[in-house]
């Protein structure tokens, strides 16, 4: 009866030298990265579903069918969408600030850079938020009638934001003898800022608009056209921004060192 369990320690001994139990600090990093990945897959997956499938699907439905489908489909989809976005950004922000940026600040200060970790982090965050504010309060209201023009101007805004972030991080993490901003800090600095803009689009534009659109559709009244247009353009903007965002996230840990120094 007990014979199979007697061999358990010997069986586990076979993994000696293969399995390494994580320390407390390593476990925290693993959990943050795992959470970031799972939430990000959920968020971006639903984003692509909305843009590649749902938009054309909804156009093909008549009003009575939409009255049934929209209240059943959209609330749960948007729940996973918006909370997936929030968890993705919070987990990524925690990992970036605690385990990547902080290390580069420490290295830079060892070379007499005099960088303040909190100031570097805060200004990086402000640059991303300011870029979103320009998009939300200046570009989207004034260029919503021409999606192509909005895309071009938004691309220019994002490029300017990326340049500002790279300049800021590099300037603060340059010591007397060397530049200490690593590829991870610079790449995730740009990719993470894009993720912050996308998060603010979700919670500041898409979700408030969709709540009113769902309510109007369920009541059998046409949704506000300007509201629907803003939600569509913000969602489409996020879909396009996800491509450079994922690129910079990939180059931060991949074989291609696109920015700064390589720190293993």
In the chain, domain spans: 27-253
Cα-Cα-Cα-Cα torsion 121, 90, 128, 195, nearest 10 degrees, comes to 130
Residue 14 has pLDDT above 70, yes or no: no
Q: Mean pLDDT in the chain?
A: 92
Burial bucket for residue 38 (CB in 10 Å: 0-12, 13-18, 19+): middle
Mean per-residue pLDDT, 75-87 = 98
Using CA atoms, how far residue 27 sits from 35, 94, 95, 99, in Å, is 12, 14, 12, 13
Integer-rounded Cα Rg, in Å, for the chain is 23
When pLDDT is cut at 50, 70 and 90, the band that residue 260 belongs to is low
Which one, of 191, 183, 187, 171, lies nearest residue 263 by Cα?
183
What's the CA gap between 26 and 92, in Å, rounded? 16
pTM > 0.85: yes
Q: What is the pLDDT of residues 144-193, one digit of tens each?
A: 999 999 999 999 999 999 999 999 999 999 999 899 999 999 999 999 99
The owner of tokens 């998060």 is: 199
Model pLDDT, residue 10: 55
What's the CA gap between 174 and 43, in Å, rounded? 36
Q: What is the pLDDT of residues 16-54, one digit of tens each?
A: 677 777 777 789 999 999 999 999 999 999 999 999 999
Using CA atoms, how far residue 28 sits from 5, 86, 88, 106, 261, in Å, is 32, 19, 15, 20, 25
DSSP string, 119-168: HHHHHHHHHHHHHHHHIIIIIHHHHTT-HHHHHHHHHHHHHHHHHHHHHH
């Amino acid at each position: 009866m007990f014979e199979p369990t007697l061999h358990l320690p010997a069986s586990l001994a076979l993994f000696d030298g293969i399995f390494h139990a994580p320390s407390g600090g390593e476990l925290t990093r693993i959990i943050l990265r795992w959470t970031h990945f799972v939430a990000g897959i959920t968020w971006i997956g639903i984003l692509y579903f909305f843009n590649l499938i749902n938009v054309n699907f909804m156009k093909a439905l008549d009003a009575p069918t939409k009255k049934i489908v929209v209240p059943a489909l959209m609330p749960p989809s948007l729940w996973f969408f918006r909370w997936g976005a929030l968890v993705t950004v919070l987990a990524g922000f925690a990992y970036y600030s605690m385990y990547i940026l902080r290390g580069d600040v420490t290295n830079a200060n060892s070379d007499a850079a005099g960088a303040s970790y909190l100031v570097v982090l805060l200004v990086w965050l402000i640059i991303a938020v300011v870029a979103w504010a320009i998009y939300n309060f200046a570009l989207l209201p004034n260029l919503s009638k021409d999606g192509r023009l909005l895309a071009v101007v938004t691309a220019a805004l994002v490029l300017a934001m990326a340049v500002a972030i790279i300049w800021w991080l590099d300037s603060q993490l340059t010591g007397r003898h060397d530049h200490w901003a690593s590829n991870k800090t610079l790449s995730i600095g740009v990719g993470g800022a894009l993720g912050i803009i996308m998060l603010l689009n979700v919670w500041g534009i898409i979700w408030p608009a969709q709540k009113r659109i769902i309510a109007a559709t369920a009541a059998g009244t046409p949704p506000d056209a300007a509201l629907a247009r803003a939600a569509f353009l913000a969602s489409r903007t996020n879909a396009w921004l996800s491509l450079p965002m994922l690129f910079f996230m990939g180059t931060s840990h991949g074989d291609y060192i696109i920015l700064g120094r390589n720190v293993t």
